[in-house]
């Protein structure tokens, strides 16, 4: 069975009315000194026989940010990554979410490699709000389409369409 993930593109409007999205930087030593093209929407894998993409996205968002979210979700479609994994995304307005208070769950890995030592790291070591231009630079290339789709849907809604 192919791997599938689901996540939430949390967004807010800043004081100038511009869209900002919430992204997380992967934790652990492999990503410690990387920034451009490695941030992600809070997301994770799920079993489609046990969970819907939206339920998985909500669960993963809570695990990776510490925040449970509800509201009117915007389906942003799915993307097939180079690895073959399919990622589903949903937009959600989260204007009052304080990124400085977010906290992620932990994962374990052998570090240093081949040392036999297991060390815990947060799945996301930094979480922050970014304007769309900066977010497109920071986010993993396979997830950029979610930012574009969110922007299109929000602009259509502002013009009298539906998000």
Residues in the chain: 163
**Ordered DSSP codes for 102-123:** ----EEEEESSTTS--EEEEES
Mean pLDDT of 88-114: 95
Six token digits for residue 4: 């599938």
Q: Is 117 exposed, middle or buried (0-12, 13-18, 19+ CB in 10 A)?
A: exposed
Q: What is the pTM of this model?
A: 0.93
In the chain, % of residues over pLDDT 70: 98
pLDDT tens per residue, range 108-157: 999 999 999 999 999 999 999 999 999 999 999 999 999 999 999 999 98
Mean pLDDT of 13-33: 93
pLDDT tens per residue, range 62-84: 999 999 999 999 999 999 988 89
Whole-angstrom distance, CA of residue 162 vs CA of residue 153: 7
Which distant-in-sequence residues (6+ apart) come within 8 Å of 65 by Cβ? 22, 24, 42, 97, 102, 103, 104, 124, 127
């Amino acid at each position: 069975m192919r791997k599938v993930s689901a996540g939430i593109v949390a967004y807010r409007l800043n004081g100038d009315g511009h869209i900002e999205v919430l992204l997380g930087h992967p934790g652990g030593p492999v990503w410690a000194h990387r920034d451009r093209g490695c941030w992600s929407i809070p997301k994770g894998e799920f079993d489609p026989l046990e969970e819907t993409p939206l339920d998985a996205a909500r669960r993963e968002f809570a695990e990776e940010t510490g925040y449970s979210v509800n509201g009117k979700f915007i389906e942003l479609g799915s993307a097939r990554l180079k690895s073959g994994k399919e990622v589903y995304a949903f937009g959600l307005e989260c204007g009052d979410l304080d990124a400085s208070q977010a906290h992620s769950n932990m994962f374990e890995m052998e570090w240093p490699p081949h040392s036999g030592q297991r060390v815990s790291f947060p799945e996301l070591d930094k979480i922050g709000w970014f304007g769309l231009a900066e977010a497109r630079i920071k986010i993993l290339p396979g997830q950029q389409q979610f930012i574009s789709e969110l922007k299109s849907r929000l602009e259509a809604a502002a013009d009298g369409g539906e998000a």
